[in-house]
Structure 1
Amino acid sequence: MEIVLSVFSVIFIAISFIPLLPSSHWTIRVWEFPRLQIATLLAVLLVAYTVKAISYTLSAFDVVLVLGLAVSLLYQCMWIIPYTPLYKREVRRVAAEPKETLSILSSNVYMPNDGYQKLLSHVHTTQPDFLVTLESNKKWQDHLSELEKDYPHQKFCPLENLYGMHVYSKYAFENVTLRFLIEDDVPSIRATINVDGQKVTLYFLHPKPPSPTENEYAKPRDVELHVVGKEISKQSGPVIVAGDLNDVAWSPTTRHFKKISGLLDPREGRGFFNTFHAHYPLVKWPLDHVFHSKHFSLVRIERLSDIGSDHYPLFTQLALVAPPNRD
């Protein structure tokens, strides 16, 4: 039992710091995702050593492991605490009438999924100004065609490679562009709309993740977020970014994106809003995001119920106001 405890301690101390290695390979970067789960296991191991210390004198090696576990736990908490109520909220919440707000329902539908009616039910209930579907193909497009009456402004890119994208809008587009920024088979959409005389720019993104079945390295995803972040940094008007970034909110890549773009995250100080995985209780992290410029305050953010996909839909309602004071 002591050997098992020591082995697991060494393993979880090691994987806590593996992402610091200068590599974008998926075997390195994947450990940025389950920080909450790793922190929980580190805490369990510390409790086990506490129980052991009650009955036995800890060896010098045990003490080293306990210190390593404690430092690792603090390190993991440093990344995830901003997405708990213990942290200062980055975006203030306001009450606003629907006519004064912009709302987005973002849903990675999982292409083989046939839960069309479940997603339609969410759309009818929440009545978002924008619906963006990810991993959507022609089959999904056909089954959602009834929305085209209420959402007369659309930009579709149906694909069979798990990277299709459909945007449905109640607002007329002043400009809308389908872009392939980094990879030829991974689209993104940039749109501008006019809201009471203000031009609002929206970006819908879904880069590939670093994984053994997708991109072996995280570089294409990281570069796409950097390119979009730099583009946003040159804009002075209202901006919203939404989609499945295939990255967690607390990763260095997402933090870098926030820093260079100047956008805010309404989840900070509120919660994780884990959207993946919808069916595995122990595998939960926030892959679907909404970021926005300081021109907006938060009215509502909610993870919606399961539609049969591996992702939950995310509904966000923002009020276009004067730059808010952060609380």
Structure 2
Amino acid sequence: MKNAAITVILQALATFAILATVLPLLHSQEWYVRVFDYPRLQLFGLAIVCFILYIWLAPRHRKRDKYLKIALLITIVYQAVNIYPYTFLAPKEVKDANRKSRPTTWLSLLVSNVLMDNKEHDRLLSLVRQHKPDILLLLESDSVWQEALTPVTQHYPYRVEIPLENTYGMHLYSRLPFRQQKVSYLLDKDVPSIKTYVKMRNGTWVELHAVHPKPPVPTEDPTSERRDAEIVMIARDIANSKYPVVVAGDFNDVAWSRTTELFQEVSKLLDPRLGRGFFNTFNVNYFFLRWPLDHIFHSNHFKVVSIKRLSDIGSDHFPIYIKLSFAPENQYDQEEPEADDETQEEADELIEEGKEEAAEENAKKQ
């Protein structure tokens, strides 16, 4: 009787792991489908545990159990293939910078979703003082955070400050000169994004984008249509850039989702985490439920000096820090993603769906 109960539990967990792996393959943008884009590593672990226990404890001769074990094995292999690029076993998409690279070629960024209601401002102050990034990007920042970080941001003469009380505030600070700062509300009137150009110490101008679209959750947006469209719209804007490019922010999407892959293919930007690690930034509070939501992508003009996830600042996100080296003479060492005609059509469809959904939402509010 005890073994029967254990078998039923195993069957339930195994079925969940299998279905949760299959669901993200659907084209549906409903939140209850897209949410399973996130826990890839967790599903991989669950499938392995279920498979081992199933071999040990489950009946061996029933057809349904054999089919379940086969499906579990396929799930494990599928998840492993998708996890592999973020392990140290995989080749690095972005090469390491030359050790002899000069500081004038370096560009450092610290990105932090601060959690608007977080009152532990000193923790982030300490990290900024320690790492002294050239560029500091804050997300979910309001007027309280703006004031609290004055002791460090006073040393950043170039800035774009958008304090909001809706958890979509954004503050961009730089030690390096800005030009053509532009704040856009692409699909949501209360969700900003920033585009500007920053002048590196060697005189090179870099196109910089800061983003934070709404997540597909019932309390924010029941579908991922606007999030996906905003991400791809930014990719389209970048695709025709004549400048080196850096994009940073909380995408509210994981690095391995189809939307983020589409973003990379359309924009031709590289992911410095590939071959280096997951750098899971969310959720601080649950170590067994963490995935990479905060991203820094860049064009193939750069190589990596260092990248690290920083310590807890009292938010539900860990900050992330990166130092890049501008090395355009070696850019062809790194293969950039490319979008074929089918990918471009998929991008067109996502943008159109997002615009339609935004128009319907705005019509309801009027």
TM-score normalized with structure 2 length: 0.86
Asked if 1 retains the 8 angstrom alpha-carbon contact of 2:208 and 2:247, the reply is yes
Match of 1:92 among 88, 92, 95: 95
In 2, the alpha carbon distance for the partners of 1:176 and 1:185 equals 18
Which amino acid counterpart does residue 188 of structure 2 have in structure 1? E
Which amino acid counterpart does residue 164 of structure 2 have in structure 1? L
Asked if 2 retains the 8 angstrom alpha-carbon contact of 1:175 and 1:193, the reply is no
1:307 match: 313
* C-alpha distance after superposition, 1:24-56 (max 9, x if no partner): 010000000001001100000110122137xx5
| 1:15 matches 2:23 | no
Query: Secondary structure of 1:168's match?
Result: strand
| 1:263 matches 2:272 | no
* C-alpha distance after superposition, 1:161-188 (max 9, x if no partner): 0000001101111211111111111001
| 1:244 matches 2:250 | yes
* C-alpha distance after superposition, 1:257-284 (max 9, x if no partner): 0000000000001100000011111111
Match of 1:200 among 198, 206, 224: 206
Match of 1:325 among 308, 315, 333: 333
Query: Secondary structure of 2:333's match?
Result: coil
1:284 match: 290
Q: Offset at 1:100?
A: 2.2
Match of 1:59 among 52, 59, 62: 62
Query: Secondary structure of 1:243's match?
Result: strand
In 1, the alpha carbon distance for the partners of 2:60 and 2:177 equals 71
Match of 1:27 among 26, 32, 35: 32
Match of 2:154 among 135, 143, 149: 149
Asked if 2 retains the 8 angstrom alpha-carbon contact of 1:276 and 1:312, the reply is yes
Query: Cα 1:105–1:204, aligned 2, differ >3 Å: closer, same or farther?
Result: same
Query: Secondary structure of 1:171's match?
Result: coil
Relative to structure 2, which stretch is displaced further, 88-97 or 105-114? Answer: 88-97
Which amino acid counterpart does residue 326 of structure 1 have in structure 2? Q
In 2, the alpha carbon distance for the partners of 1:114 and 1:324 equals 45
1:164 match: 169
In 2, the alpha carbon distance for the partners of 1:72 and 1:206 equals 31
1:70 match: 73
Which amino acid counterpart does residue 59 of structure 1 have in structure 2? R
Q: Offset at 1:324?
A: 5.1
Number of matched residues? 325
In 2, the alpha carbon distance for the partners of 1:57 and 1:155 equals 63
In 2, the alpha carbon distance for the partners of 1:87 and 1:58 equals 39
Residues 45-56 of structure 1 aligned to structure 2 (within 5 Å): 45-52=50-57
| 1:43 matches 2:51 | no
In 1, the alpha carbon distance for the partners of 2:118 and 2:315 equals 6
* Identity in percent: 42
Query: Secondary structure of 1:113's match?
Result: coil
Q: Offset at 1:10?
A: 1.9
Which amino acid counterpart does residue 70 of structure 1 have in structure 2? L
Q: Offset at 1:8?
A: 2.1
Query: Secondary structure of 2:51's match?
Result: helix
In 2, the alpha carbon distance for the partners of 1:27 and 1:255 equals 20
Where structure 2 has 5 or more consecutive residues not aligned to the other structure, the ranges are 1-5, 336-366
TM-score normalized with structure 1 length: 0.96
Relative to structure 2, which stretch is displaced further, 9-18 or 311-320? Answer: 9-18
Question: What is the aligned-residue RMSD (CA, Å)?
Answer: 1.3
In 2, the alpha carbon distance for the partners of 1:57 and 1:287 equals 41
Q: Offset at 1:12?
A: 1.8
Asked if 2 retains the 8 angstrom alpha-carbon contact of 1:278 and 1:309, the reply is yes
Which amino acid counterpart does residue 266 of structure 1 have in structure 2? P
In 2, the alpha carbon distance for the partners of 1:184 and 1:142 equals 24
Asked if 2 retains the 8 angstrom alpha-carbon contact of 1:26 and 1:211, the reply is yes
Where structure 1 has 5 or more consecutive residues not aligned to the other structure, the ranges are none
| 1:81 matches 2:87 | no
Which amino acid counterpart does residue 297 of structure 1 have in structure 2? K
Asked if 2 retains the 8 angstrom alpha-carbon contact of 1:205 and 1:245, the reply is yes
Residues 100-179 of structure 1 aligned to structure 2 (within 5 Å): 100-179=105-184
**Structure 1 or 2: more helix by fraction:** 2
Query: Secondary structure of 1:224's match?
Result: helix
| 1:221 matches 2:224 | no
Match of 1:182 among 180, 187, 212: 187
